[in-house]
Amino acid sequence: MSTPAARVEAAMAAAPRADFLPSPARPFAGLDEPLVLTGGQTCSQPSTVRAMLLLLEVSVGDRVLDVGSGSGWTTALLAALVGPTGRVDGVEVRADLARWGGANVAAAGWRRARVHRAIDVLGWPEQAPYDRILVSADAPRVPGGLVAQLREGGRLVLPVRGTMTVVERRGGRAVVVARTGRYVFVPLVTGE
């Protein structure tokens, strides 16, 4: 049985960052820094994504929601982690990024993963509940709307006011189980 770190490294090898970047940024895919996508949006640096995936603790067969999927890279990484029996729904509020990210995921052959455009709702409630939710945008607080989309015992990882936060749903409510590290992300559009 492989370790969680080994599983995350295998996912990163299976879904190379360069495949999810605009052509001008591809030569810089190996750098451990955020890279510009479009319109002020970025593809997070690999060490940040790695840390978030480790905190998320994705298992084979999980149903995962990827909020702020951007280029589709994190959606593809999550698809590698859930394997052929899992499912990943990526959501993005920007129509151009949702189309491009979805095309990237499809071109890379991740059939159990889709990127959707979120309109007037946070997340993708029509496919809830999820085992895991990853958020790649900074929230002012833990969004109740996302906690509602978690199954009981499910886990949510997101930056809250710059601090990476791990939340589990217990007894129908959010319980913060860890806060670790300071990060800079674009603001989360919550509608809450």
Task: Report, as residue numbers or ranges, the catalytic residues.
Answer: 44
Put the strands of the sheet holding 113-117 in their side by side order. 113-117, 87-92, 63-67, 130-135, 150-160, 163-170, 173-182
38 token code pair? 């479009």
CA 68 and chain centroid, separation: 7
84 to 19, 28, 63: CA distances (angstroms): 21, 30, 11
58, 5 Cβ separation under 8 angstroms? no
Angle (nearest 5°) at CA 99 between 67 and 125: 35
Q: How far apart are CA 172 and CA 145, in angstroms?
A: 12
Q: How many CA atoms lie within 13 A of 162 on its CB side?
A: 2
